[in-house]
Amino acid sequence: MDEQDTAAILSDVLDTGSTDEETSTTGSSGLKDEPEVGVRSVRPPFACTHPVSVEPVLFLSMFSLTLQAPLSTQYLWDRISEDLGYNGSRTDECGNSSVRPDPLQKEVETLTAHWNLYLSLGGFSLSLLVVPLLGSWSDMAGRRPVFIIPNLGMALQAIVYLVVMYLKLPVAYFLLGRMLSGLLGDFNSILAGCFAYIADVSDRRSRTFRVAVLEACLGLSGMLASIIGGQWRRAQGYINPFWLVLATSLASALYSYLLVPESVTKDPSARLFTSRHHKAVWHLYSTGGSVGETGGRLHRCKLWLYTLCFFVVVAVHFGSRELYVLYELSSPLCWGPALIGYGSAAQHLAYLSSLLGLKVMQRCLQDSWVALVGLVSNITGLVVFSVADTTQLMFTGYGLCFLFMAATPVLRSKLSKLVDPSEQGALFASVACVESLCFLVGSSVFNSLYPATLHFMKGFPFLFAAIILLIPTGIISTLECLDQRRHRRDSTSS
């Protein structure tokens, strides 16, 4: 059996039970005002009388990811503390800022940060290669496989973590789980597939808000998972919450298989293991795609600049996010599982507040200015985090970040509008590749920076994050000013 037959069989298995393909120009949104090439709705095995989209897929997958992320960090902290004989949660230094920090605490923080880095490197370095492969393949083979395969990989990761916890194996075995998930695409493939699906079924006018709704699903699921995870871990430990991680990953895969209709025409000859998918991504950015070939050099530059903005914003977001739990666990905050859960929930609540703010601001502001408001919100919150030494100040920082997620849906939408409808799969494959790189670079930089700056300023990584966010702020404002000036010149000349 050759490579082409294997890919075809895999695609047929994932689409078993599909009925006759019906051309659909409205998709699940019902808002289409422009035909898009190759968009079809293929019914899943169980027909649904109501429009079904990908929001539940992303909700369940994000719930699984958010439930396990802070718990795995806390588990690493506890295991490393146990190995080193550190019991800092019951020392006096947490309530007294004048007490010199325990050297063992610094060692525990450093080792935990390093293990977080190793796990991120192990997973995302593999997904960096796999995500663009799956994303571009989905443009021909359909979106549903990109929802199912990575969810199965996340389920395998949860199984490995459970085995480590049950048998008290060395934490190095966590790397095996991360690598299995990375080889099957990891969460970034699901994220890329969902946004590509929304681009398939939405029009240009509604796309920014539809993308924001999808990101709000990330926030809602993350908020619920954070609250549940913190309380559950305090009551029953680590093992039972990780069973829920496994269950939600499997539920997301099952939902995708049974209920999500296909949004693109499936090409029976589509091959998974081919260099064509990576070449499609490179062609998009080297020429600007079909639109760039006619739109000229400026169009290609905008594609690169908005991608750079997206990279910086997402790298800061995910890089700094991994430090919140470490920052809160250690002195002078010394939060327990409940407060850590509430803090993570407050962070994810910003997804919903950002959605509401985006909807309101779109009534009077262009999308670019909405993104700038979101970046200012993020910068001010990070500055407060950098000096937070009390619980009240830490939650003040979370409050100031209430619009910090308004920038990413605008950037995704702008990138989507820069390419032809037939190139959405290649675009979101490239965005997924950039997002994987964001995880890799953000995790590497911030998990290395945190232990290196503990001796002079514990919150320096947050201050550093606020400073580099000035880069996308300047780029977006400059491009918007240039666009407005060009529109005024064109309207005057006409």
Neighbours of 310 (CB within 10 A): 22
Neighbours of 487 (CB within 10 A): 10
CA dist 31 and 49 (Å) reads: 18
CA dist 276 and 136 (Å) reads: 9
CA 423, 426, 430, 436 dihedral sign is positive
CB contact burial 161-174 (16+ within 10 A = b; e otherwise): bbebbeeeeebeeb
SS3 of residue 35 by DSSP: coil
- Backbone phi and psi for residue 32, each to the nearest 5 degrees, phi listed first: -65, 135
Q: Which helix (H) or strand (E) holds 115?
A: helix 103-141
| pLDDT tens per residue across all 494 residues of the chain | 444 444 443 444 344 434 333 333 333 333 334 434 344 445 566 545 445 589 999 999 999 998 988 889 889 989 998 888 887 654 445 555 555 667 788 888 888 888 988 888 888 778 778 888 887 788 778 888 989 999 999 999 999 999 999 999 999 999 999 999 999 988 888 988 898 898 888 887 788 888 888 888 887 887 788 778 878 888 888 999 999 999 999 999 999 999 888 877 777 776 777 666 667 677 777 776 555 554 557 778 889 999 999 999 999 998 888 789 888 988 888 888 888 888 878 887 888 899 899 989 988 888 999 999 999 999 999 999 999 999 999 999 999 999 998 999 999 999 988 887 767 767 877 887 787 788 778 888 998 899 899 888 999 999 999 999 999 999 999 999 988 888 888 777 76
Residue of 432, 51, 368, 364 whose CA lies nearest to 208: 368
SS3 of residue 22 by DSSP: strand
Whether 324 and 381 have beta carbons less than 8 Å apart is answered as: no
Whether 465 and 317 have beta carbons less than 8 Å apart is answered as: no
Q: Which helix (H) or strand (E) holds 39?
A: strand 39-42
Whether 354 and 374 have beta carbons less than 8 Å apart is answered as: yes
Encoded amino acid at 420, one letter: D
Global model pTM greater than 0.75: no
Partnered with residue 23 across adjacent β-strands are: 40
CB contact burial 31-40 (16+ within 10 A = b; e otherwise): ebeeebebbb
Pairing label, strands 39-42, 22-23: antiparallel
Beta-strand ranges (E) seen in 287-372 are none
CA dist 224 and 239 (Å) reads: 18
Q: Give the relative orientation of helices 55-84 and 103-141 as an angle to the nearest 10 degrees.
A: 150
The most distant pair of C-alpha atoms in the chain lies apart, rounded to whole Å, by 76
* Residue matched to tokens 């298989």: 257
CA dist 23 and 478 (Å) reads: 41
Q: Give long-range contacts, CB 8 A cutoff, 24+ apart: 274-277.
A: 274/3, 276/136, 277/132, 277/133, 277/135, 277/136, 277/137, 277/429
SS3 of residue 50 by DSSP: coil
SS3 of residue 40 by DSSP: strand
Whether 238 and 80 have beta carbons less than 8 Å apart is answered as: no
CA dist 460 and 357 (Å) reads: 29
Q: Which domains does the chain have, with CATH numbers?
A: 54-90+104-264+289-493 (1.20.1250.20)
Partnered with residue 22 across adjacent β-strands are: 41
SS3 of residue 482 by DSSP: helix
